[in-house]
Chain A
Amino acid sequence: MSEVKRGYVRPLDIKNGRIDLSHGSGGRAMAQLIEELFAAAFDNEFLRQGNDGALLPVPTGGRMVMAVDAHVVSPLFFPGGDIGCLSVHGTINDVAVMGAKPLWLSASFILEEGFPLADLKRIVDSMAAAAKEAGVPIVTGDTKVVEQGKGDGVFITTTGVGIVPEGVNLSGDLAQPGDRILISGTLGDHGMAIMAERESLGFSAPIQSDTAALHGLIETLLTSGAKVRVLRDPTRGGLATTLNEIARQSKVGMMLQEKALPVNPEVAAACEFLGLDPLYVANEGKLVVIVAAEDEEKALAAMRAHPLGQRAVAVGSVHEDPHHFVQMTTAFGGKRIVDWLTGEQLPRIC
């Protein structure tokens, strides 16, 4: 019999292994999972400290932003992304729309007993790649395991911190009458990509999720000098929800031009088929910008120069309205309001 090397530790069976309760119990199995899977993928100087909390340098000047987001998307893997990169992009975006430079992320995983390690590795590698590309390391994390049936494979919660430099002031209550409303690209890609994957609806379309980290685009926009009042990323509930939120916060009304709304033809067709409205479908890589009217062209030019903003376009204006309605001139010529979403948008027969 050949000698077994001293100090040999049987590695995780990524190919066939599954999460079991021992991976969450705090013992050796969990330590191995963290070391061989998470730490190996996310590796950075802070993680290497190996403590319960990450020791981080305190930046001087400016104000700090902190944001948190939980990700429960199903299916876990979809065209254009997965729950892993989504969780990195989503929180980076929440920090960046405040005008902050995102600095660090934390990631907490709730894993379901029986979840395949191969899938977990795919997700973790995707997160690592997204974090690296964005230049925002994952500096601390946590893992828990729940019994089979009590979780949808995996839930990921990420928290992000960033610093807003002096002189930058963005907030949902700063929109003013006369401002222009811009959007960085096409609407509804993410939501419809997810719908297409849900086999119970049985349609296939070449739609990719638009999940992306927007801090680079935002930086380009802010350094252009355009007087930006509000930045938001229109995720759940779509553009309609985001605009209604801003209208309420800023106590203004809005008027959109339906003809200006950018929607990919496959997304429009899929929405039409299911009776959904692209205005309410989720996006994960788009930016809503409310900017002073005189800086509209400057802002658009800045965004269009960036890969994520090539289809940036103006879609409407802000005006006085004591009722804070978001209205729209339809492509047909008539008017309607774009109201708050009622419940969840469900495919309909009627």
Chain B
Amino acid sequence: MTALRAAVAAQVLAVLGQRDAGPPVVQTAEAIARIAGAEVRPLRLAADLTPPRATARVLRALHRPRSLTAVLAGDEVSRPVWQRVAQRSDKPVVLVPAGARNRPQQIRRVLLPLDGTARSAAAVAPTAELLARGGAELVVLHVFDAETVPKFWDQPAHAGPAWTEEFLARYCNLPGARMELRSGAAAEHVAQVAAAEQADMIALAWSQQLGQGRAPVVLRTVLEAEVPVILVPIPAD
């Protein structure tokens, strides 16, 4: 399972640590459970658990068929745990950044950054579909950089709509989805656009690689975002 899937009595794990991350994590888990038609299951980690053991506990709980996702504090202190969980989970993991201003009662709008590859679009599609079915508005973000900039852009008044319509048709063909485009480095834009669009959540597909220079978008977004970030693993080839 690489994505959120609604199921009978599905559960959203609210991972509670020793620090005071409880309320935002629980509120986020409740909002996700509401949109997914699931229930919240608290998972309290003992204070004396080492990060590897805490990770193993979360992954064990996530591995249950009923578990849709796990919501964890995404702050710096909890980093040893959330990084391990996010890298090893085959299910989406939701991080609640330390600076999360928004502890959504309801997820009304989700920012969905897509890099224009079929793999990432396919990975995030079930999650996006579930969120859209639950009533969330999807705002797809694509950032043009040296690798992804189109070869041609004839007349901006016409090319913009044509390009975005085609992009959505290919990578996010869900009712009501709309698109935002930016130029530059994607890492610089995701959190900013999420704030500008007043998104309640960011959904990012990622390859679960955190080596040197990898996943700059994920790392910077988790650092800067003011809303929960759901990381959806892209299955290995």
The answer to whether A and B interact is: no
B→A interface (CB under 8 Å): none
User: B-contacting residues of A (Cβ < 8 Å)?
Assistant: none
